[in-house]
Structure 1
Amino acid sequence: MDYVSAVGDLLDDYRKAAGPLPQQHSLWRLTGPGLSDLEPPAAEPLPVPGADELLVRHDAVSLCASDAKIARLGLDHPRVRRFPVVPGHEVSLTVAAVGPRLRDAYAPGDRFVVQADMTVGGVARAYGYDLPGGLAQYAVLGAEALAYLVPVRSGTGYAEAALAEPWACVEAAYAASYRSTWQAGGTVWLTGDGAGADLGAAAGWRPDRVHLDVRDDIFAERVRAWAHASGVEVVAGPPQAAVDDAVVLGPDPDRVERALAALAPHGTCALVTVAPLPRPVRVDVGRLHYDGLALMGTAHQDLSAAYTPIRTELAPGGRLWLLGAGGPMGRMHLRRALQRDGAPASIIASDRSGRSANTFGGFTPPTVTFLSERECGDAETLAKRLNEATGGLGFDDVVVAAPSARAVEAAFEHLADGGVINLFAGLPPGTLCAWDVTAVAHRGVRAVGTSGSSVADLRRARDRIEAGVLQPNRSVAAVAGLDGAPEALRAVAENRFGGKVLIFPNLSRPLPLTPLAELAGVLPGVAARLERGHWTVAAEEELLRALI
């Protein structure tokens, strides 16, 4: 057998997960907060699947800013419960061995991508956070995790499959849903003035309990009469525990801040005020993102008018400002905005360095204006440029793909009437931004934020990739083996690349972190199979032929 045939057979065996399994495998652990003393991968005995478990091989892992955030925040990260952590939640994997009771449903060689957010043992868990993730050659998945595997075709590239997860997160950012009523069977806090207020359609909603904390006796008596007729418990005074819904009656910033702090996950805070607030409100934008809180409002006395449905999709034909457009996720948002039906009529794509201008290889779509915040020099000049771009009307949509509290605070001021700010980049809970939330009540401004995605989102992303609608390989900026993971994580933390870094954990020979632009000097055969500098399935196959 000649060399080419032997290598071809090796690649075919790799794809099918054929041949003997190794006795050991390598994995990379983050042992604690910080990026200064990252250790190389460690070797451990290969895990053995139980009767209801799968042994899976991680073929490709796309590193995410959240992986670097684990190192930066440590146990302050909302999804990290303990160290060490095996990071990596954007994963493409292959079944390597099947427990006896699963052999009718799974076989070695079956390929999947992983939905990172799981419920295991009735507890919310996350792959690559508090569950071991993709920066390991192999892992065992228990029965409860199997529902979070989404199958992919055998011909789909490992890298493009791994990139289905971040694309799913992008899609999920525009598919969030918020309640337009109080939580049925939940707890409501009515607080503030109450003079002239009316329940309106809320009289038909049925929480279990209302905490009545208003100054106006007439409104308070109306609430008590409604509650008595509806079988709703009334408790005088503010709540001592988290509430599902809080309604602030009147222009009281202190009460708005207390109401937002009192919300349970997926809670709503409605501001009902005819008068403007005397000062900005400190809003925990980290909780808006991670806990899915809704901040809504109305200038009408009918408090139910605050609960109009919140738009989460981009306004067709509208004006979009995309912050952090030069990063890998920002570029995905930009491509999505341009590709969707009813695309924005104008887009400002900004980042600190101006790197977003290279998103399309020098070609600028006619609806897009690239803007370097650094070249603007100061906030006043940037604001002037943005006002000129919209004729002073503001933006219908602002998408924040850069984790900057300063950017979030400034962006809120540029929303048009009815505008929506999408907090895609997660800032830590406890991150406060000063917003003039009078705009929420008087101009219909809204804020939305999502973290992660669902299995349904991941399936949709996979389908679009396999149909050729999305080309995720264009997002790849650099590649490495598992040995290059520490340096790759530093690169992500330092925002060195405008695209994604892909780790291939099962290479048998070292591959340090290598930008695609430098592949010709390291692996010329792989570089020859790039397409105009972009990663391809053919380049990936050549990489595996050379290094497995």
Structure 2
Amino acid sequence: MRVEIKRKSLMADPGMAGGAHMKDKLQAYRDADYCLPKEILAWRLYGAGIENFGKDGKPEKIPMPEYGPDELLVRIDAVGICFSDVKVINQGNNHPRITGRDLKKNPVILGHEPSVTVVGVGENLRDRFKKGQRFIVQADVFYGGKSMAFGYVLPGAQTQYQVIGKEILEGDEGCYLLPVKPSVGYSEAALTEPWACVVAAYRISRRQSVKQGGRLWIVGAPGDHDYTFGMNVNSKHVVATDLDWSLLDTLEMWAGAGKFELTITPTFDELDLEEMGRRYGGFDDIIILGSDAGVIQRCAPLLAKDGIMNIVAFEPLGRSVKIDIGKIHYQGHSYVGTKTTKISSGYSMVRVPSELKSGGTAWYIGAGGPMGQMHVQRAVDMPNGPARILCTDVDDARLESLMSRVLPSAEKKGLEIRAVNPSRLGRKKFYRLVEDFAQGRGFDDVIVLAPVASLVEEAIPFMAEEGLLNIFAGFPVGTIANIDLTGVYEKNMRLVGSSGSKIKDMLDTLEATESGELATDKSVAAIGGIEASWEGMLATKEGRFTGKIIIYPHIRGMALTPIQDLKHSLPNVY
């Protein structure tokens, strides 16, 4: 079912009648052939807390934004509500993408999952754009090397109209507006962004060696292992701590040849790690020789964005390590390793990219939520996906909704899929069920979709050889989990995470939608007009719906409505 509002009576934009003449009102809307209003409605966030979203729980009237010769004016046709929006509302000025901004003085307009139509074109852009063109927005905007995310730094789509400027039109990766065919529904288009995030989660890659031109720290350990690099070290700066003479001789030879700057530190126990962090600003690679959990734990906070920790060891750690799993999700930290003396083996292409193992066993933790259901739907529908799928969630209704959506396709393909509520079982019984489902060999893929650190901790013992733990849930940076990293080097277990998507992910998802291969709007659970955004944010925070909420900013007076209720309230739409 395509969730696209088509009833003329719901198109309550007061400026439409003057320019539409005798045209059908809906066609005039699609063509952007009407007089624009002088005032519009917008939801602005003034600080942390739902009470600071809008004014008294309502959108504000603001002047129609003006656009310049190098800008576009777009109409927001539909916008999805994402739990990331809720995070900004919860954290306010403390959100990592808002840090340094005083929302009280400079409020943000949220909304990064829009479908838009061009209604105004600046004179310098008329050779590229025209009224009536439809687009989606790749929200992870970078301009001049800086993150300018749409709906965070740049004003977003929780409004009726928005200006699109140079940051989006001339971004570092090109234009962040992606064209949409007229046949695609507004909700289908808006849901491209969250679906692209799902796609991106299975395309995570990483370097196969130390970062060229980066900062490398190598920490040695007592022992008689004859370590070798097995790779070129093209770092800009190498810091060496407690290395034996053979590795140190190699590094000094390379440094003497001008390959990099080399710093030899005092012993690890003598180091001031806070000073190390201030001095080097984080390391792109940290290579740990030996199985000292304390050293690993103390070094991990010094990883830079997209940093890799390579653990080269032969004995179990003996205890868990405190790891910031928020940095795995948001900053791309990776933990790799090897139980050989060849350091480069830790960088091998194990589970790269992060696609599900064909014919494997997958476990979706927190599967019943909106994004979880998308992940499971993808696993079931993909041509070479896992053969066995375990879905867990603490909400029976969510699991029932999930199974009603995916079970027919799973059974048709001969897949084994099971939904389990752990809270209905004792811990021992649940763990036994999990182990039995994995047939005693562990899970090839574990996808964590609920931001609860203990769920990550509990999944680690059930990982298979070369198992991949994918942290999709948006754990805030600073979320600590106690993880036994022994499996990283003993059985090539990998931990990865991602946030957002890239332009290619969006384009591929949009192509799948336009071809009919992917029905993005199967994910819609409720819709509403512009005034329903406040309730929609609250419902998303509370987990009230098993799917996505779509807001249609140009529909006035429509409360937040579950899809199944439309057959009674709006039968022509349903």
- Out of 505, 514, 522, the position equivalent to 2:561 is 514
Name the residue aligned to 1:19.
34
Q: How far apart are the structure 2 equivalents of 1:496 and 1:192?
A: 51
SS in 2 for 1:333: helix
RMSD in angstroms over aligned alpha carbons? Answer: 1.9
- Output the CA distance in 2 between the equivalents of 1:380 and 1:65: 32
C-alpha separation between the residues in 2 aligned to 1:75 and 1:192? Answer: 41
Tell whether the 8 Å contact from 1:320 to 1:347 is kept in structure 2 after alignment.
yes
1:526 match: secondary structure: coil
Counterpart for residue 176 of structure 1: 204
- The offset of 1:35, in angstroms, is 2.2
Deviations 1:90-115 (A, max 9, x none): 11000010000001111110000000
Structure-2 change in CA distance of 1:108 and 1:77 (3 Å)? same
Paired with 1:249 and 1:376, the residues of 2 have a C-alpha distance of 43
Task: Give the deviation of 1:333 after TM superposition.
Answer: 0.9
Aligned to 2:288: 248
Residue deviations 1:249-293 (CA, integer Å, cap 9, x gap) = 111112212322111111110011111112111111100111111
Instruction: Give the structure 2 partner of residue 403 of structure 1.
Output: 451
Q: Which amino acid aligns with 2:137?
A: V
The percentage of aligned residue pairs carrying the same residue is 38
Identify the residue that residue 425 of structure 1 maps to in structure 2: 473
Which of 83, 87, 96 is the equivalent residue of 1:69? 87
Tell me the SS of whatever aligns to 2:291.
Answer: coil
Aligned-partner Cα distance in 1 for 2:51–2:453: 25
Are 1:177 and 1:310, in contact at CA under 8 Å, matched by a contact in 2? no
Tell me the distance in 2 between the aligned counterparts of 1:192 and 1:142: 51
Residue by residue, what CA displacement relative to the aligned partner does 1:146-191 show, whole Å, maximum 9, x if unpaired? Answer: 2100000112100000000011111111111100100111111001
Q: Secondary structure at the match of 2:163?
A: strand
Alignment partner, residue 548 of structure 2: 500
Q: Helix, strand or coil for the counterpart of 2:27?
A: helix
Q: Mind listing any 5+ residue stretches in structure 2 that lack a counterpart? A: 1-7, 10-19, 170-174, 266-270
Amino acid at match of 2:35: P
Q: Which residue of 1 aligns with 2:268?
A: none
Q: Distance in 1 between matches of 2:508 and 2:324?
A: 31
State how far apart, in whole Å, the 1-side matches of 2:476 and 2:310 are: 23
2:135–2:178 contact (8 Å) kept in structure 1: yes
Shift of 1:379: 3.1
Partner of 1:79: 97
Distance verdict in 2 for CA 1:310–1:126, change over 3 Å = farther
Tell me which residue corresponds to 1:446.
494
1:214 counterpart (242, 255, 276):
242
Moved more, 30-39 or 185-194: 30-39
Shift of 1:491: 0.4
1:399-432, CA deviations, whole angstroms, 9 ceiling, x for partnerless residues? 1122221211211221111100011111000101
Q: Does the alignment pair 1:526 with 2:573? A: yes
1:46 to 39, 53, 64: 64
Give the superposition deviation at 1:144: 2.8
Structure 1 contact 331–356 (Cα < 8 Å) conserved: no
Give 1:121 shift: 4.2
TM-score by length of 1: 0.92
Distance 1:380 1:228, change over 3 A: farther
**Are the counterparts in 1 of residues 526 and 550 from structure 2 also a CA contact under 8 Å?**
yes
2:215 equivalent in structure 1: 187
Q: Does 1:259 align with 2:299?
A: yes
**Other structure's SS at 1:31 match:** coil
Preserved contact between residue 356 and residue 370 of structure 1 (Cα < 8 Å): no
Alignment of 1:358 with 2:401, yes or no, is: yes
Provide the C-alpha distance between the structure 2 equivalents of 1:184 and 1:463, rounded to a whole number of angstroms: 35
| Structure 1: segments with no counterpart, 5+ residues | 528-548
- Distance across 1 between alignment mates of 2:51 and 2:121: 39
Decide whether aligned partners of structure 1 residues 66 and 236 sit closer, same or farther in structure 2, where only a CA change above 3 A counts.
Answer: same
Tell me the residue number matched to 1:385. Answer: 433
For 1:498 and 1:391, the matched residues in 2 are separated by 30
